[in-house]
Amino acid sequence: MKILIAAHSGFCEGVERAFRIAQETAQAGRPVFMLGNLVHNKQVVERLTERQVKTVADLAEIPAGTQGVLLISAHGVAPEIYAEAKKRQLSVVDTTCPWVKKAQQIAGQLAAAGRLVVIVGDRGHPEVKSLLGWSGGRATVVENEADLAKLTLSPEGRVGIIAQTTQSTEHFDRMVGAVKRRVRDVIEFDTVCGATTKRQTAAIDLARQADLMLVIGDRLSANTKRLTELCAQTGTETHQIQTVAEFDRNWLTGKEKVGISAGASTPEWIIQEILAALPRTVL
């Protein structure tokens, strides 16, 4: 059996940077609070918890007067979170992914120009919530063309359309086309991050060669979910697993080539644990 590993998989630069900064911050000796998950990976969050980093869902959970550090996740937050942290005299360590920062800035600029901001993304995702915040309330989220069909758009309106950074470029392009068929004045910004595109392309190419695809990553990870969907669309049997405990050896029956990909928030140690469980010649 041959194990084929995608050319681009696992931690992207933004996640690696966020994890490194978080670990360094945890060593500073002050109370550290993480607003939500640093990245969507349970094992990464557990590593930080072991280093006494406390996860909070809301700043109100931090005791008043605490001279601590607030970690902003790689997904980013709305502007009011920074204002609230300052009010509470919390030091802010911002690990927002640079690609997300760029999308936030564009959302703000489009809104300031008086355009309706359309965000192609997963409703409720932390990154999308941050983009909504930076639009100042002038944005709406659409996940698919069915959502878009329900949106009231005027042919004479002015629209700016951006993407959650972990969407597929193909999906974003379809959504842009659908908006342009209904509105004359549309400005588009493909804010899908480069790492996402590379991982998706590599995973699809690999799925077309393999008899079985294993996509490694957390169930909450939007980019891992997208990789799984894209691999499955090639027709190759595809399974998403978070850890080696979810691996079923029966999947290997009759398989000659097994492809491995991993989401951008999946740490290398999880990938290696799964590889160690596979009888293989690694290519």
Q: Which of 46, 127, 170, 268 is catalytic?
A: 127
Give CA 102 to chain center in angstroms: 14
Q: Are 69 and 33 in contact (CB under 8 A)?
A: yes
Helix ranges, the chain (H): 13-26, 42-50, 79-87, 98-112, 126-134, 145-150, 169-180, 194-207, 222-233, 268-276
Asked if 34 and 73 count as a contact pair (C-beta separation under 8 A), the reply is yes
Active site residue 145: no
Residue 18's φ and ψ, nearest 5 degrees, are -60, -45
Q: Read off the amino acid at residue 8.
A: H
Q: How many CA atoms lie within 13 A of 123 on its CB side?
A: 9
Catalytic residues: 127
